[in-house]
Amino acid sequence: MAVAVSGDSPKPSELIHDAEAELLDLASESQRTDWVYSTYVNDDTEALSAAAASRLIAATMRRARELARIPLESLAPAEARKVHLLRVSLPLLAPADPAESLELTRLVAAMQAAYAKGRHRPTGAKEPLDLQGLERILGESRDPALLEDAWSGWHAVGRTIRPGFVRYVELANRGARELGFADTGAMWASRYDMAPEAFLREVDRLWGEVRPFYESLHAFVRRRLFEHYGAEIVSPSGALPAHLLGNMWAQSWDGIYPLVATGLADDGLDLTRLLVDRGTSPTDMVRFGEGFFDSLGFDKLPASFWERSMFVRPRDREVVCHASAWDIDFVGDLRIKMCIEVTGDDFHTIHHELGHNYYQRAYNRQSYLFRDSAHDGFHEAVGDAVDLSVTPEYLVRLGLLGQAPPPEGDLGLLLRRALEKVSFLPFGLLIDRWRWKVFDGSISPREYNRTWWEMRRSYQGLAPPGPRGEDEFDPGAKYHVPANVPYVRYFLAAILQFQFHRALLRAAGERGPLHRGSIYGSEAAGERLRTMLELGASREWPDALEAGTGERRMDASAMLEYFAPLRRWLDEQNRGHPTGW
């Protein structure tokens, strides 16, 4: 029913203004309490965070229901967009019942806490290890028994998360349906300025463009692992064992680069060693990241960033170490939260996280509901595009490297990056593909784990190291599942980052191979990037994409162009060997 607007009734514009003012206050409160919880994990901070989140969700739901009664055709385009964005602004829509709303937010907080407290003592270890310690084993060891132990030990965390997850799905769907969505998955897919079914076709189209390249990389890696471990552990034509790929979730394979790059000319670059030899501190690494954006013409980070961020793991308390960028007040209180180690991986991660912070500051002059990225894949892609400019040439300009490796080492550089970026693509898609089916009821609780591994085999060509029953809950061993964070954004970002990178290099006047180019020091590239970032969510994403790239459609051609020399080499290496699984 439409709202009757009379002389005494608030105008739609007034309702929207009031909603934005209330939600900004509540969102800032929720960010502050969640920051405290994430950096001081205990029962009290968990309860405070859950209560603040519950208040924000309840107010968002109330305001969304109120504004949904206004016919969109009666609103100005900007107002209609705000109403739409409000309906999809939260990844979690709680039921109207206050008790169920609080229960839902407490469930999510409890699942996050169970994840953060996860520990396992591998065989021979003196004490239990957290995720970072177990990840180190996955990345460094070549002992299949130790790898399986570390992998299985961490995945046991899912067992404690599973009961809460079942109830969470029920309550989250109830809230989504109260706001007019078919289920939570349909709500998540409605964020992309197209109907959910059209969005699903879009991601399938993008995956279709890159799948042949992934299959070629998979076949090459499988053969190298087969040569190293033998047929008892690795099939020469089947799925890859998930615990052998150097990463807890096999979402990136760069940890096994030394194993699979045997005989390949290498770029000779060991960024971790360069940083350690220089005596680099965690704060120094963040300063390097800030300097990158300085070189593009962006303002320096505020003093509060350096005072309030968490750069290292505290010794006196539990924290959530998962790297993240924060916009506490949606104006200028920017922070990152990391347990930084002086490694090349964390050097790259810092550049990525700062990409979020600079995006957050760029759109902070927009109305509250427009203080977000054009779609959530943009937020991730901006940081990733910046990371693509962390090239040997960039490291030379920082003084970390004396001389960039010659082009003869490019195949090594490209293989290392493909093991990070290309291997991620199916994982980035399947997590939400699985969750969408959970939310719409296609996958029932009694088949959570079976369908998870069926999809991992179908998309990634992976298999677990041993039998996994329904008493396990392996999706829960990935942070974003218990934390209720939509994941398809990372798949989109994996495509978009190369599209952004190519366009920004062209703006910088770079005409060489995409994998050698860096926008560091180019104010022209910075201006083009800033133009896109400042739009926030005020325009539909094709408009923002056009502002940044001159193109209105997401496509994988830039990624394929970036890796073209490696693709040709892999095709030669795979000739006469099986592909697929």
Q: Where are the domains of the chain?
A: 1-90, 271-404+502-549
Q: Using the predicted structure, report yes or no on whether residue 198 has a pLDDT greater than 90.
A: yes
Distance from C-alpha of 129 to C-alpha of 40, rounded to nearest angstrom: 19
**Average pLDDT for 310-314:** 96
Residue whose tokens read 């009821």: 441
pLDDT in tens, 401-430: 998 888 877 898 899 999 999 999 999 999
In this model, does residue 368 exceed pLDDT 70?
yes
How many Cα atoms within 13 Å fall on the side-chain side of residue 216? 20
Element (H, E) at 241: strand 240-241
**Cβ contact 345:319 at 8 Å:** no
Task: Encode pLDDT of 514-567 as tens digits.
Answer: 999 999 999 999 999 999 999 999 999 999 999 999 999 999 999 999 999 999
Least confident span in 51-60, 68-77, 148-157, 202-211: 68-77
Length of the chain, in residues: 581
- Report the distance separating Cα 398 and Cα 256, nearest Å: 27
Place of tokens 């514009």: 13
Q: State residue 385's pLDDT score.
A: 96
Please give the pLDDT value at position 268.
Answer: 66
- Counting residues of the chain whose pLDDT is more than 70, the rounded percentage is 98
Q: pLDDT tens, 243-279?
A: 999 999 999 999 999 999 987 766 668 899 999 999 9
Q: What is the pLDDT of residue 417?
A: 92
The Cα-based distances of 78 to 73, 74, 369, 388, 533 in angstroms read: 12, 12, 10, 34, 18
Q: Is residue 192 flagged as an active site residue?
A: no
- What is residue 35's three-state secondary structure? helix
Is 348 known to be catalytic?
Answer: no
Q: Is 537 helix (H, G, I), strand (E, B) or coil?
A: coil
Annotation marks residue 375 as catalytic: no
User: Hunting for tokens 């104010």 — which residue is that?
Assistant: 523
CA 171 to chain centre: 25
Average pLDDT for the chain: 94
Whole-number Å distance between alpha carbons of 526 and 379: 16
pTM of the model: 0.91
For this structure, is 228 an active site residue? no
Question: Tens digits of per-residue pLDDT, 315-362?
Answer: 999 998 989 999 999 999 999 999 999 999 899 999 999 999 999 999
d(CA 163, CA 472): 11
What is the spatial distance between Cα 428 and Cα 417, in angstroms, rounded to a whole number? 16
Residues 6+ apart with CB under 8 A from 194: 202
pLDDT of residue 5: 47
Which pLDDT does position 344 carry in this prediction? Answer: 92
Q: Would the pLDDT of 100 be above 60?
A: yes
- Catalytic entry in 358, 359, 490, 520: 490
pLDDT tops 60 at residue 2? no
490 catalytic per annotation: yes
Catalytic status, residue 480: yes
Nearest by Cα to 436 from 182, 93, 209? 182
Beta bridge partners of 462: 240
Q: What are phi and psi of 419, to 5 degrees?
A: -65, -25
CA distance 472 to 449: 7
What is the pLDDT confidence band of residue 8, given thresholds at 50, 70 and 90?
A: low
Helix or strand run (H / E) with residue 431: helix 425-439
**pLDDT at position 96:** 87
Among 289, 432, 259, CA closest to 354:
289
Using alpha carbons, select from 500, 501, 505 the residue that is nearest to residue 521.
505
First to last CA, the chain: 54
| Model confidence at 87: pLDDT above 70 | yes
- Among residues 84, 120, 352, 375, the one annotated as catalytic is 352
Q: Which of 84, 155, 348, 356 is catalytic?
A: 356
When pLDDT is cut at 50, 70 and 90, the band that residue 1 belongs to is: very low
pLDDT at 6: 45
**Separation CA 85–CA 232 (nearest Å):** 52
Name the β-bridge partners of 334. Answer: 327
Catalytic residue among 261, 322, 393, 561: 322
- Say if residue 185's pLDDT is above 50: yes
Taken in order 450, 456, 458, 461, is the CA torsion positive or negative? negative
Position 365 scores a pLDDT of 96
Which residue's structure tokens are 């809460």? 164
Q: How confident is the model at residue 4 (pLDDT cuts 50, 70, 90)?
A: very low
Q: Catalytic: which of 46, 79, 148, 380?
A: 380
Query: Catalytic one among 480, 501, 520, 537?
Result: 480
Is 323 one of the annotated active-site residues of the chain? yes
To the query of whether residue 380 is one of the catalytic residues in this protein, the response is yes
Nearest to 181 by CA among 199, 202, 196, 203: 196
Whether 51 shows a pLDDT value over 50: the answer reads: yes
